[in-house]
Structures are given as C-alpha cells and as structure tokens.
Amino acid sequence: MSITAARFGSAPVMLDWSGTQPLTAEISAARRTELNDHWNRCLKKLHERVSGFYEAVQTPELSQLQESVTLAKAFLARPEIEHCVFIGIGGSSLGPMCLIDSLKQRAKTKIQFHFFENPDPIDWNYRIKKLDPKHTLVCVVTKSGTTYETLSIFMLAYDWLKRGVGLIEAAKQTIAITDPEKGELLEFARKYNIATLKIAPSVGGRYSVFTPVGLFAGALAGLDMEKFLAGGKKARDYCEKATADKNNFLSWAYALSSLGQSNPIHVMMPYTTPLRLLANWWVQLWAESLGKDGKGYTAIPSLGAIDQHSMLQLLRDGPNDKVIWFVNVLDFGIKANVPSVNFKVKSFDLLEGQELGQILDTEFRSIQRVMTNQRRPHLQLQLDSITEESIGAIFFILSVLTAYMGEVLKVNPFDQPGVEEGKVYIRDTLIKRKEQNQAGGSNDDNNAVHRLRLHRG
C-alpha cells in the first residue's frame, strides 16, 4: 500500500492526501516524471527570484528582518503608543492579519491592532472614533504606493493624526512599508520625514508576509520573527532535498490536478479559531495566483467546527465538485476541561470532564470520516502546534504549492492581469469624477438616474 501521509522534513507540518481519491492510486512513472519536470522548473524560477519569497526566509536583504525588528522596538519604547492602525488591502493586509490573529495568544506587547482594508465610510467613522491619536501608530502598506483603497484610508488616518497631535508628531507616529525606490507613497514619506521599510521588488504582495509586511507587525506584537522565518527555512530545506519519488508537493499536485475538472472548488476548513484567517489569506493566494486563462480553482474559506452547522450539509450531500482542505492542530498547548455543573442529564453528563481541545479534535476526525464515507475528496494539513515556527512553515508551504501549481497549470502564478485591468477603470473613473467635481457638475455614470436611463434605453 502506498504512503499517503508525510512531514515536510523537519518543518512542524504534516500532509495527508489519502482522502483525495479512492485508495490514492500510485502515480504512473510517466506522470511522476512530468510532475518532477514541472517541479524543477518551478525551483529554478524561485532560485532566480522570479518571486523573492523563496529566498527571503534566508536572505536578510529580502526579509529586512533586522530593520523591521529595530523599528518595531523604537515604537515599543514609546509608552504612549498602545494601538496600531494598520492600513493595507489584499496581500498587504491578509498576511499580517493572519499572523497576528493566529499568534495573539503568544503576543508579548500591549499593542492592539486595527486593520483597515476597505474604503468604507461607515467602518472608518465607527472605528476611528474609538481611538486616540495620541496613543496610535499608523502603518500603511502598499508596494506600488498607488493603491487607491489603501491611500484613501491613509490620507484620512494621517489627517486624523495631524489634527490630533500636530504635523511633526504625526510624522513620528507613521510608518510606510512600500517599494524602496519608487512610488507616490515613498515620495510622501520622504517629503514628511516618515519612517519607511522596504518591500523587495521581487516579492509580490500576496507572497509578502516574509518581508516587513508581516515581520514588522509580528515584531510590534512581540512575536519571535526569527523563529517565523526559521519555520519557512525548514520548509525550504525540504523543497531543496525532495526527490521525485518522495516529494509531498508532487503527490499534492497530482491529486489536485487529477480532480481539477470534476472538483474545481476548494474549501479550506481549519479546525481551530486562531487559524480562521489562514483560510482567508489562502483564498487570495490560490485564486489570484491561479485563476487565469480559463484555469484555476474557486477557493472558499470555512471554519470547523462552526461551519459544521452551515456548510457541512452541502459538503456531504451537495454537488460532488469540491475538495476540502482540513487544517488541524496536534497540540493546542493549553487545556480547558468542562466542569461539572451538577445537572445529570445525558448531554451534560457526557461532556463533563472532557477537554475542549479533544472535543474539537473529535469533531474534526468525525467529519473527516463523514467525507471519507461519502467519497468526497479531502486532504489534511496538520500543524504540530501553533507557534511562530509552524505559522512560518505553513505560509511557506502554501506559497510554494501555489508557485508549483502555476507550472502544472501553465499559468503565471505571480501576476494578476484581471486586478490590474480593474485598477485602470478605477483610475479613469476617479479622474472623471475629480474633473466633474472641480467643474461643479454631478454627472456620475454610477448614479441612479444614469443607470435608470441605461435600463430604459
């Protein structure tokens, strides 16, 4: 019987792909050779820094670890700073959001993070009024320096700071993480003497958690970002040593590509609340990287055991067009035992003395068995525990898989032409609206009257 589960070398992550197809048949020699050729081409591109994330875990000039930690310590040395308004969107926010949320139980500083992503007036006004500019650091992240959603919120935040603490102090309570050589945000930061950290040009936004985008936020929370990078480095070491006959990525890619036509919808379901946002980060990585040329997969975030009471019925008995990516944790590192409340009925009595982590694991194993019984494709990623090292490893493993699947599907996993097209239309519309506002007009293609006219026409 073939092996259907293995660890990624010394990285604290295990993959079990036994549920992806009946009995998980052996890969044919020809198909394994083809997949290995794709793997070697992928590694060659990663070594050449087509995407710099692969080298960032071991290259200081790319990670900017020391610069990120030093600047974080400088802000932490200011006792008045208690909050961080973190402004970004997509890869500029999902990585640090997941990092902070997954490891919040290990945070060692008092900093409270407030992630602002959407240019939504209700969200902005509701949340910002709860903060005091005297106690708030503003961190803005955009690699291009021209992301409209991010810049619009930043302009509001910087004006809020300036009105609260004055122009000089506002600059001292702001940090910009952006391209090191160009971009309008960089120009602004230089003009007002705002501290900056650089995102290496070779690292795309959705892979940027291994740069100051993730490292500064983690350091500001008091997390050990050296261990975070070390987790990624252990996964990288596995990639360098994996052979054609013993490579988890080949087995993984084989299963997913084999199911690609029949099961194009992928659902990631972590069975622990701290990893809820891992699924959200993965959705962008998987969808934006591979959704091209009529190819790719529909990525859906979920959470166990909560979504057993919403998604499970569909996953079990709905269309058999999905692959469920279970993510579980072997050791939660903390326990909470259900006490006796002196009410001797069946459910209360059954739960008395049980430990919450064991209950959650029982839920996971049971639902995994349901999917197996129903022959619904699924795979399992298991973290030894939730630590800086394991989070760094899982981020890296999923990034490498994405780069590799780009080779398998013959698409570029590092660009986003659809997103760029949208940016062009947004810019053109904003220019038109600006001109109309300056002329005192109100002719808006998106207003209700105009849409009604189009409908009537």
Q: Does some domain include residue 132? A: yes
Give the model's confidence band at 452: pLDDT under 50 very low, under 70 low, under 90 confident, else very high. very low
Beta bridge partner(s), residue 268: 301, 325
Least confident of 50-64, 176-190, 305-319, 434-448: 434-448
Local confidence band at 435 (pLDDT 50, 70, 90 cut-offs) = confident
Average pLDDT, stretch 379-404? 98
**pLDDT at 443 exceeding the cut of 60:** no
Q: What is the pLDDT of residue 447?
A: 59
Average pLDDT of the chain, as a whole number: 93
Q: What is the pLDDT of residue 23?
A: 39
Start-to-end CA span in the chain (Å) = 66
State how beta strands 265-270 and 298-301 pair: parallel
Same domain (yes/no): 289, 214: no
Confidence of residue 28 (pLDDT cuts 50, 70, 90): confident
Is it the case that residue 420 has pLDDT exceeding 90? no
CB of 11 closer than 8 Å to CB of 238: yes
Kindly report the CATH number assigned to the domain that includes residue 90.
3.40.50.10490
Domain count, the chain: 3
Print burial letters for 303-313: b (CB count within 10 Å at least 16), e (below 16): bbbebbeebbe
Dihedral sign from CA coordinates of 229, 232, 238, 240: negative
Same domain, residue pair 193 and 284: no
> In which domain, by residue range, is 184 found?
54-228
pLDDT digits (tens, 9 = 90+) for 146-165: 899 999 999 999 999 999 99
Range scoring the smallest mean pLDDT among 54-63, 97-106, 431-440:
431-440
Residue 385 · residue 330 · CB < 8 Å:
yes
Residue 412 has pLDDT above 50, yes or no: yes
pTM of the model: 0.92
Q: Minimum mean pLDDT among 14-23, 218-227, 408-417: which range?
A: 14-23
Would residue 452 count as lying in a domain?
yes
Q: What does the pLDDT average to over 388-407?
A: 98
Residue 131: is its pLDDT beyond 90? yes
Same domain membership, residue 139 and residue 13: no
Q: Tell whether 265 and 341 lie within a shared domain.
A: yes
Whether 343 maps to a domain, the answer reads yes
Q: 133 and 213: one domain?
A: yes
Query: Do 402 and 341 belong together in one domain?
Result: yes
* Catalytic annotation, residues: 288, 309, 423
